[in-house]
Amino acid sequence: MIVGTTDITPQGLSIGRLLPALVATAWLGALALALTRLPVLTIARNRLALGDSLTGFAALGGTAVLVLGMSALAIGLLVSRRRTASVIALFLLLPAILAFLHGLGTGAARSLAELPSAARAGLGSGSWLGLTLLAGALGLAVRRSRQPGLGLATGLGLILALVGLGWAGALDALSLAVEYAARRATVNAAIGEHIALAGAALVLAGLLAVGLALFRRGQGLVALILGGLQVVPAVALLGAMVAVMSGLLRAVPALRELGLSALGPVPAIVAIAAYLALPLWRGLSLALRAPDDDTLQAAEALGLSPGQVLVRVRLPIGAPILVGAVRVAAVQGLGLATLGALVGAGGLGRIVFDGMAQFAPDLILLGAIPVVVLSLLTERGLSRLEAAARRRWHA
């Protein structure tokens, strides 16, 4: 009996050929459900009311048929797995997404025309499901096209198109756009604060990781402490840092003159850095041990000093591991920075918690969506850098 062989019987081949078609059919059925049965818009008289639901045909009209038709053609092309077909599918899915969004904005404006100014048109479950399915298919089309730079170009093109729709006022009636228009300066400032908060924590954690990596004899203790911090709830650690800062300021009042306080960005940065130190420390430790003994001996035989071995051998060979650790820590930091608002650190978490306090889902999304976008962009960018480092040093 041979274990792990591939099923090459006629039955196995038939299933292998039918599976993509079955998945495509299920995908198209889910999209049809989202656009015809599930609510794509929720019209309420104010931001706190539940409101009435509108399905795709009621809100989008003929746009729903257009989106379904373009999506059906695109998913049919994706089943073929050919590069050219995938590129064509991509150019069908992009306008389908934009038409969907434009239809939502137009439908919202039409539905709110005779309602009070406080009325809101929120995105329903059908909209979120439909956009998720279309975005997933778009990502698959980019991947199967295997064209260098096409993913970046597609992302930039989609962002520019969305900005164009917003600039033209096509999305102004949607409640998310209304909330953003009312808090434009606050949201923009919060994005900057969030990036600064996560970036400062990443730098502090990096310095801490370098210092701990040099503490060779106590690596077991370091692993125990940093690993133990991971199981402490973030809210509890933030509260503990506030208590520590309060005690420190009472013991050394002169620290207040430096701008330190028990509440604000300082305790949040320290607490977030405590979480980020573990992946950075592990990544740095593994990166320094990446070269094999033969490589190190060859470097020493060439007369390289320990510092030169570090710069010319250890760090270049371990660069992919180190960049991967930075990627994990950076994405984790962007997520944890949201909780910094609990101790007055600002950032996008402040908008999220304001929305929770006001029972306003759209305000919550207004703070959460930029966090997700920043995390995805960071992960994607550092993943490309990690892959480039791996190709450069492990070719």
Report the pLDDT averaged over residues 52-68.
89
The pLDDT tens digits for 95-141 are: 999 999 999 999 999 988 888 878 888 899 999 999 999 999 999 99
Looking at 103-107, 111-115, 176-180, 200-204, which range is the least confident one? 111-115
The pLDDT tens digits for 350-368 are: 999 999 988 888 899 999 9
Looking at 8-12, 95-99, 152-156, which range is the least confident one? 8-12
The pLDDT tens digits for 275-325 are: 999 999 999 988 888 888 888 888 888 888 888 888 888 888 888 999 999
pLDDT value at position 48?
Answer: 73
pLDDT value at position 15?
Answer: 57
- Integer-rounded Cα radius of gyration of the chain: 26
Asked whether the predicted pLDDT for residue 46 surpasses 70, the reply is yes
Asked whether the predicted pLDDT for residue 29 surpasses 70, the reply is yes
Asked whether the predicted pLDDT for residue 4 surpasses 50, the reply is no
Asked whether the predicted pLDDT for residue 395 surpasses 70, the reply is no
Per-residue HEC secondary structure of the chain comes to CCCCCCCCCHHHHHHHHHHHHHHHHHHHHHHHHHHHCCEEEEEECCCCCCCEEEEHHHHHCHHHHHHHHHHHHHHHHHHCCCHHHHHHHHHHHHHHHHHHHHHHHHHHHHHHCCCCCCCEEEECHHHHHHHHHHHHHHHHHHHHHCCCCHHHHHHHHHHHHHHHHHHHCCCCCEHHHHHHHHCHHHHHHHHHHHHHHHHHHHHHHHHHHHHHHCCHHHHHHHHHHHHHHHCCCHHHHHHHHHHHHHHHHHHCHHHHHHCCCCCCHHHHHHHHHHHHHHHHHHHHHHHHCCCCHHHHHHHHHCCCCHHHHHHHHHHHHHHHHHHHHHHHHHHHHHHHHHHHHHHCCCCHHHHHHHHHHCCCHHHHHHHHHHHHHHHHHHHHHHHHHHHHHHHHHCC
Asked whether the predicted pLDDT for residue 13 surpasses 70, the reply is no
Report the pLDDT averaged over residues 44-59.
82
Report the pLDDT averaged over residues 248-256.
83
d(CA 210, CA 154): 38
pLDDT value at position 278?
Answer: 93
Query: Per-residue confidence at 2, pLDDT binned at 50, 70, 90?
Result: very low
DSSP-assigned beta bridge partners for residue 122:
42
Nearest to 370 by CA among 192, 185, 233, 224: 192
Strands 39-44 and 120-123: antiparallel
**Residue 37 CB: number of other CB atoms within 10 A?**
11
Q: What domains are there in the chain, each with its CATH number?
A: 10-178 (no CATH), 184-393 (1.10.3720.10)
pLDDT value at position 190?
Answer: 95
The pLDDT tens digits for 262-278 are: 888 999 999 999 999 99
pTM attached to this predicted model: 0.84
